[in-house]
Structure 1
Amino acid sequence: MGWLGRSAGVLAAVPLMAACVSAPSGAVPNPAPNGVAGSALPMPPSTGADRSLEQIPEDCEAEAQYSKRQLRGAWIATVRNIDWPSKAGLSAEKQQQELVAQFDRAVELGLNAVFFHVRPTADAVYASDKEPWARYLTGEQGGDPGYDPLEFAVAEAHRRGLELHAWFNPYRVGWRDPDLENLADDHPARKHPDWLIEYADQGYFDPGNPDVRAWVGDVVLDVVDRYDIDGVHFDDYFYPYPEQGEEFDDDASWEEHGGEFDDRGDWRRDNVNRLVADIDERIDETKPWVRFGVSPFGIWRNEKSDPSGSDTRGLESYSAQYADTRTWIQEGWVDYVTPQLYWHRGFETADYEKLVPWWADEVAGTDVDLYIGQAAYRVGEADWKGDDALARQLDFNTGHPEVTGDVYFSMKDLGGRAATAMERLGRDHYRRPALPPRAEGAPAAPAPVTGLRAERSDSRIRLQWQAGDEARMFAVYRMAGEGEDLCALNDAANLVGVVGADGEGAQGYVDEAPLDGPARYYVTALDAYRTESAPAPVVTP
């Protein structure tokens, strides 16, 4: 991420099932998925409802108290062993234990997505015949960890109801010591030395070389093809962050490929634009439910440089990394954008209270979602003190409905320096679970769950149901009383759990603190597009 070594100083149609039960009172339940088989309940005749649950908002007048669609994520960085694994050379079993612990922590915090770093330095945290194993796994680039971390991560994330977005650095090859000095023999930079440009103490593939652009696209699509990921994610490293007194030596590719441009900056932006547009098109052609997004540096342009820029005075991603995020939004080349707004409210150079509205205006009226990159790693610094250090950032977001999620850097900080701040944030903003945003273009809603059963035992309500292979996760709703109020399913106030599909058919959820008196439970299935199934018969005990 652009934070590395930086801080503020860098700136100069299917049925839904329901069960009704009467149970003792209790607090808001833990939404973590858990299931136990219960006794079968009689199924009433079908009501004939055949609408997708996605259609209900058009039929309901009541305003939802809480939004039930919100991206809540955390970055899990593998580069330099920032988040995972804690150090290179751990056994496969220990690595897996650490990753599971981080996923469990994400669920405890009310998150629903992880952004897993699969390509830190033009290498792989997965089994690849294109690039060598990342050295952060074993201590040696090319060293086989004895299992496929991405395959393991996808399965464990989905089991917990978490999305997994595969996070790629498109061009970074690494630092001179030890990365460039210890490249594996089969690293593409050894096979194609003309691709590599050394800049300051780092190495980058040349974004101006069309062969590089094609290679990066092939690497990304190889992962899309072979793994059941939910998203592809790029961070802010396109062209490198500028270093004083250093020039990025792309003269050779500029002379060969920049002929139609008078300005090298425009040519560089076009190079990045071509990569982003190509990745977007290829994902849509391959797996359109896989969402593609980028987390750029938080300032596109300052209004001093461009009247349509933000009221800021910092480094501009437009002219520093040549990342023209605004064009990507306008062209629809990304499904979401996650600007890294790693500055506090009131910071004079780059005020969070000015940047959030600017980005909200940019996505307004488009199909591009806006999630804010949050600086969990800064909690405890001078302007980030107090248990509300993160909650007060989200307090401001609530006034901007275009903001539909937040992603935190980084995972280790959520259990470390930002642990207390995240607990406060959970009380203030994440009291209810949330479903992830939908992907566009779903051909149909998922198949219904069947055989919903309920059982009361030891002051708990146990639900179990059956589901088809297409189900990715399930939403569990609870409402007091009897009867049917399908409009209430719009409101996350009634959403008590998000359960990951385990692929075994039988699924379950335990409400550890059910309501006092009669209650109805509804279960819906969500597919890879995150499309939710429709209302259908009610099951009564």
Structure 2
Amino acid sequence: MDVPWVRRPGRREFLALLAAAAVAGTAAPPAAGRPRAVKRQMRGLWIACLNHTDWPARRRLGTEQIRADFVSMLDAAVATGFNAVFVQVRPTADALWPSPYEPWSQWLTGTQGQDPGWDPLAFMIEASHLRGLTFHAWFNPFRIAIHTDPGRLVADHPARRNPDWTVAFDGELYYNPGIPAVREFVLDAVMDAVTRYEVDGVHIDDYFYPYPAPDGRGFPDDAAFAAHGRGFTDRAAWRRDNIDLTVRQLRDRVRAARPDAAYGIAPFGVWRNRSTDPAGSATTALQSYDAQFCDSRGWVRKGWVDYIAPQLYWHIGFAIADYAVLARWWAAQTDGTDTQLWIGQSASRPGAPGRPAPWQDPAELSRHLALNATLPQIGGDVFFSARSARTDRIGAIRQLAADHWSRPALVPLLPRLARTAPPAAPELRPSPDGQGLQVAPWPRPGRPHPFQYAVYAYDADPGPHPPADPDRLAALLPALSVDRYRPPGTSSASWYAATAVDRAGRESATGRVLRFPPGPTGPLVEGE
């Protein structure tokens, strides 16, 4: 997809970003006592559009400024070390693309239904891919509006055409998940984006049935239960089945349309408390199984999601929901399954006024990642959200990146894709100016196109088939915009090899080794 308004980062500009992210280092093995580098790790960033949380900014709704702000946000993410973005493209039963099902989002122009005159989703995907960031499209399934007045929706909104689909609850307007036509409509609306755009993932957040109202009122779905109860006598079980149907059917449709895309959910962090269910966690918090009718543990154990990203927005030692307790509990739930575990982290709580003392310590998030490193089931993290991560009030994001992201990491590879064909191995050649290395792709029919080039550095000639060891990973270059690598002056390495990586994370074997800088006898030397 070629989107003409996407500003392509220049090679020099992008290499400066990579240097700022400290992803071009020496090839020396880690010092004694220091954790070894990881080959694959989710380092994701949520970008929320609802109510202008991250993007677009409320007072900067001009087209060029919107685009420039998004690009700036991506460049900041790359410089920090993030490798994936999770972008909210359907915040409130609306769309950030020209959808035949739902109106244009009001968060784009300030007016729901107003065509912005361009395709933001196409723009965001290409801008992300040019920078080597995988793009996960984030959908909210059932929320219609953050108010309760259908009259404020655009005249042809599906919720106004089908008022019996809607429920007003706790100051917001929702589609009723208990109505089969609603579930089918939501799946169709989501799949329109999935089938038309080169998304790398389909991501669902934690709003299924809404969170409980403070006054204790229940979700008003008597009529739907009477009409569509399917023989259930327990309304809570029926509600959970409605959500289960949505989760499983969307999984099936995503895999059929885009089999390489990751499909996952970011639920509330507590499934059930142990006092309620022996299988639950040692917590005393709200239980999403009972309050939102989400059987997130069941989705994992039944293999209905590729990953689960529970929102663990609590500090270590928090009495009712201890981060350490929940990280270990979720690790145990995913152990032995093909469901990957990525932890939802809060970038907004560090340094926030009124937060308890642990959140005033810049090292709190770094401690979370240190704990994660002891749990092999945890494959990375996703941070909420982009504006907070960039503002970084007390330097917590900078500290965790320095402590844990000093080297680049490939995105996780889904187990179901592990045996599918990777891209062909690329070759390294001397760059035309003789100042570094140039990656030459080697396309093969039926093989995926390279998304990134991984450059590995060695202190001695590693032989013709060197290992793609994470401790030797010197840089990840976005293949759509950068094909050259200039080793930093601090590098002690002299031999280099490269692999090709596709958007799903499949990695080729290493190509031919090349020596740099030149030996004392002459030019750059290719390994035998």
Partner of 2:197: 227
Deviation at 1:116, TM superposition (A): 0.2
Partner of 1:384: 359
| TM norm structure 1 | 0.84
1:483 aligns with 2:467: no
Tell me which of 474, 489, 492 is aligned to 2:453: 474
Any residues of structure 2 matched to 1:384-463 within 5 Å, and which?
384-418=359-393, 420-439=395-414, 440-441=416-417, 443-450=420-427, 452-454=429-431, 461-463=436-438
Tell me which of 263, 267, 282 is aligned to 1:296: 267
Distance in structure 2 (CA, Å) of the matches to 1:389 and 1:236: 24
The C-alpha deviation readout for 1:428-462, integer Å capped at 9, x for no partner, is: 100000100113235312123246334676xx634
Mark the CA change 1:198 to 1:376 in structure 2 (over 3 Å): closer, same or farther: same
1:497 aligns with 2:497: no
Deviation at 1:481, TM superposition (A): 2.2
Partner of 1:16: none
| TM norm structure 2 | 0.86
Deviation at 1:486, TM superposition (A): 5.3
Distance in structure 1 (CA, Å) of the matches to 2:433 and 2:473: 19
Aligned letter for 2:207?
Answer: Y
The C-alpha deviation readout for 1:479-538, integer Å capped at 9, x for no partner, is: 2222338564232x21122222317xx82333344523x512221111233211113432
Is the Cα–Cα contact under 8 Å of residues 363 and 402 in structure 1 kept in the other structure? yes
The C-alpha deviation readout for 1:190-218, integer Å capped at 9, x for no partner, is: 12111111102101100011111111111
Q: CA RMSD in A?
A: 2.2
1:525 aligns with 2:465: no
- Structure 1 segments unaligned to the other structure (5+ residues): 1-27, 35-62
Mark the CA change 1:373 to 1:247 in structure 2 (over 3 Å): closer, same or farther: same
Partner of 1:153: 124
Amino-acid identity (%): 41
Is the Cα–Cα contact under 8 Å of residues 461 and 514 in structure 1 kept in the other structure? no
Q: Secondary structure at the match of 2:483?
A: strand
Partner of 1:136: 107
Is the Cα–Cα contact under 8 Å of residues 74 and 113 in structure 1 kept in the other structure? yes
Any residues of structure 2 matched to 1:54-453 within 5 Å, and which?
65-87=36-58, 90-176=61-147, 180-243=150-213, 244-380=215-351, 381-382=355-356, 383-418=358-393, 420-439=395-414, 440-441=416-417, 443-450=420-427, 452-453=429-430
Deviation at 1:30, TM superposition (A): 4.6
Q: Secondary structure at the match of 1:384?
A: helix
1:508 aligns with 2:484: yes
Aligned letter for 2:108?
Answer: L
1:535 aligns with 2:507: no
Deviation at 1:335, TM superposition (A): 0.4
Deviation at 1:98, TM superposition (A): 0.5
Distance in structure 2 (CA, Å) of the matches to 1:180 and 1:418: 38
Distance in structure 2 (CA, Å) of the matches to 1:91 and 1:335: 37
Higher relative contact order (CA 8 A, sep 6+): 1
The C-alpha deviation readout for 1:206-244, integer Å capped at 9, x for no partner, is: 001111111111112111111111000011000000012
Deviation at 1:371, TM superposition (A): 0.6
Distance in structure 2 (CA, Å) of the matches to 1:33 and 1:330: 36
Q: Secondary structure at the match of 1:96?
A: helix
Aligned letter for 1:445?
Answer: P
Is the Cα–Cα contact under 8 Å of residues 233 and 292 in structure 1 kept in the other structure? yes
